[in-house]
Amino acid sequence: MHKTYKTNKTCSVQIDFDIEDNKLYNVKFTGGCNGNLKGIAALVEGQDINTVKEKLKGIDCKGRGTSCPDQLVKALEEISN
């Protein structure tokens, strides 16, 4: 399943990813800190979505109450509901 998620309160504006067998693949952030977001995408590649949610939920960037990794969790939670 492919998902496109429009982010909120972050420098990145969109996250695209695929879910297969409850695992995360092909994560791509549009906008934001290119190197850091490529690093996050590489680290979560092939990971179980529940593990990703546990590790990244609630990370804050500059007092915004969210971050690009936290927005990925919000996207994952949206498809889980």
Q: List the chain residues with pLDDT less than 50.
A: none
- Nearest partner of 32 among 40, 24, 43, judged by Cα: 40
What is the per-residue pLDDT for 35? Answer: 96
Residue 75 in contact with residue 51, Cβ under 8 Å? no
- Determine whether 74 is exposed, middle or buried from the number of CB atoms within 10 Å of its CB (0-12, 13-18, 19+): middle
What is the per-residue pLDDT for 79? Answer: 86
Instruction: Count CB neighbours of 40 within 10 A.
Output: 21
pTM of the model: 0.95
What is the per-residue pLDDT for 81? Answer: 66
